């Protein structure tokens, strides 16, 4: 294993050294063994004592150069320069066997200069939610930060009420955000902004240096990756909830999980964050907000790109998002790519979504049931689930006709659809059940749920209880940003 501290040592003007502080009565509760092995992390770190030595002692490799990062961000559309790592620390970077660089980051590590008077801690509730979400999205095929370990404790943390404190050890390519670039641009710190650009080219976007204009290539890469990420969110019914620019990664990954939700009933205007009454970050607003955020980021490129160049790059966003989204939706519906002007594919996909939205059908379950659609049969049981039978019949007729023209066999088509439509997703009511048990000291359901989320497309009996529709009380749980 090779540990490096390049961000801490090469960007000293962008960081503040801070040591992590252990929670009282801590326990190493959950370990992501597979990810530990993939990153080639030391086996002894899977032991509580050894990991805690590395995380919290003066001699520990993970506490030696720990830093808090400074950044700003547009929060609900308003610029806020007073942000930064208020409860998280960048500990080190590990180079995996494929020579890929990964940040090792500890969330809930204690106060930093950017905590704004807060305690710098995280509660068990939000820590469990982030662990579950990051692993759930990853195994669905949606780029995300990853969870390495969850540390529970008996130390009380005060939010709306007293809750047990916890920590999350997580990893991703880097924790560099749109807000990093925005902060140094808006504060006029051009030298530090250039240092950040140079660092990104050196360690994360070296391929861009071969382009005629590396800065344009970098903005294009971030734009494309962001578009593809949000297309995946839309295709799988994921609502992030807090798409502030300080929560947007330059690597096109999902991170900084707060009041997220996967859709239950398909409501395009669904709002998962009860602190967002205007619906700025509603489900169907996510694509447009992605572009808004990229426009905010692009201002930091104005020393290297003119307005027309920036417009050309950002002009690629919509087509990149729609192309990715279309490909995903065709796979979910079992339709082959057909570029013919007479293709029915778009009408079929949009018609199906319209039926689900009109009748408020469960998004994930409905797509999973669609995998069993018989193009030659009556599909009576399936049909009976819908109120407007005429509307369903008209859609089903067009769908059947189109499927029968495809060369793929029905059996192969149905199997392929199941590889694109998960059986198990992270529903908020299930997460709440896990949290309730964990707060009582029982982590068995959490471990069981993690295993199901690691294999979301499988049709296994032992996962059936995690694939049921939510009860009425679990459909619209209010989730806040507090953690």
Residue 195, classed as helix, strand or coil, is helix
Closest CA to 334 of 367, 382, 287: 367
74: β partners: 79
Burial 34-50 (b: 16+ CB within 10 A, else e): ebbebbebeeebbeeee
Q: Do 458 and 139 contact (CB within 8 A), yes or no? A: no
Q: Using a CB cutoff of 8 Å and minimum separation of 24, what contacts does 181-185 make?
A: 181/250, 181/297, 181/300, 182/71, 182/72, 182/73, 182/74, 182/79, 182/245, 182/296, 182/297, 182/299, 182/300, 183/70, 183/71, 183/72, 183/73, 183/81, 183/83, 184/14, 184/300, 185/299, 185/300, 185/302
Q: What is the rounded distance in angstroms from the CA atom of residue 141 to the CA atom of residue 235? A: 11
Give me the catalytic one of 246, 264, 265, 362.
Answer: 246
**Residue 246 designated active-site:** yes
**Helices and strands, number each (H, E), in the chain:** 17, 12
Please say whether the dihedral angle defined by the alpha carbons of residues 364, 369, 374 and 378, taken in this order, is positive or negative.
negative
The token pair at 384 is 């009976």
Distances (CA, A) of 369 to 332, 373, 378, 413: 11, 7, 15, 13
Q: What is the rounded distance in angstroms from the CA atom of residue 208 to the CA atom of residue 219? A: 10
Count CB atoms within 10 A of the CB of residue 240. Answer: 27
Count CB atoms within 10 A of the CB of residue 55. Answer: 28
Q: What is the rounded distance in angstroms from the CA atom of residue 168 to the CA atom of residue 158? A: 18
Active site residues: 246
């Amino acid at each position: 294993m090779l540990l490096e501290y390049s961000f801490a040592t090469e960007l000293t003007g962008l960081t503040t050294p801070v040591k992590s502080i252990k929670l009282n009565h801590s326990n190493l509760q959950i370990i992501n063994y597979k990810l530990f092995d993939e990153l080639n992390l030391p086996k002894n770190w899977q032991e509580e004592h050894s990991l805690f030595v590395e995380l919290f002692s003066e001699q520990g490799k993970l506490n030696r150069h720990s830093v808090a990062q400074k950044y700003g961000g547009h929060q609900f559309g308003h610029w806020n320069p007073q942000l930064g790592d208020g409860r998280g620390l960048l500990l080190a970077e590990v180079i995996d066997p494929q020579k890929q660089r990964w940040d090792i980051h500890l969330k809930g590590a204690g106060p930093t200069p950017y905590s704004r008077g807060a305690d710098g801690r995280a509660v068990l509730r939000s820590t469990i939610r982030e662990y579950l979400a990051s692993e759930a999205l990853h195994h669905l095929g949606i780029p995300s930060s990853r969870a390495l370990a969850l540390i529970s404790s008996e130390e009380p943390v005060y939010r709306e009420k007293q809750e047990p404190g916890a920590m999350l050890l997580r990893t991703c390519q880097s924790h560099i955000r749109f807000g990093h670039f925005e902060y140094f641009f808006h504060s006029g710190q051009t030298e530090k902004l250039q240092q950040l650009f140079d660092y990104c080219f050196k360690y994360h976007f070296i391929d861009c240096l071969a382009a005629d204009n590396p800065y344009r290539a970098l903005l294009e890469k971030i734009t494309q990756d962001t578009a593809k990420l949000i297309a995946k969110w839309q295709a799988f019914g994921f609502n992030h909830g807090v798409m502030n620019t300080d929560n947007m990664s330059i690597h096109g990954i999902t991170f900084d999980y707060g009041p997220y939700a996967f859709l239950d009933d398909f409501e395009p205007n669904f709002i998962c964050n009860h602190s967002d009454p205007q619906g700025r970050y509603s489900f169907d607003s996510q694509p447009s907000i992605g572009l808004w955020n990229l426009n905010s980021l692009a201002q930091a490129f104005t020393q290297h790109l003119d307005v027309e160049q920036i417009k050309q790059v950002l002009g690629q966003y919509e087509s990149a998002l729609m192309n990715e989204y279309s490909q995903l939706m065709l796979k979910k519906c079992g339709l082959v790519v057909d570029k013919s002007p007479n293709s029915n594919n778009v009408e079929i996909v949009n018609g199906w979504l319209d039926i689900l939205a009109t009748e408020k059908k469960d998004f994930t379950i409905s797509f999973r049931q669609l995998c069993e659609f018989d193009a030659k049969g009556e599909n009576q049981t399936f049909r009976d689930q819908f109120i407007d039978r005429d509307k369903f019949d008209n859609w089903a007729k067009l769908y059947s006709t189109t499927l029968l023209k495809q060369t793929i066999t029905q059996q192969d088509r149905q199997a392929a659809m199941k590889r694109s439509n998960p059986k198990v997703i992270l529903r908020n009511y299930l997460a709440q059940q896990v949290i309730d048990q964990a707060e009582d000291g029982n982590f068995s359901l959490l471990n069981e749920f993690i295993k199901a989320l690691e294999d979301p497309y499988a049709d296994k009996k032992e996962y059936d209880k995690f694939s049921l529709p939510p009860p009425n009380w679990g459909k619209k749980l209010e989730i806040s940003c507090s953690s």
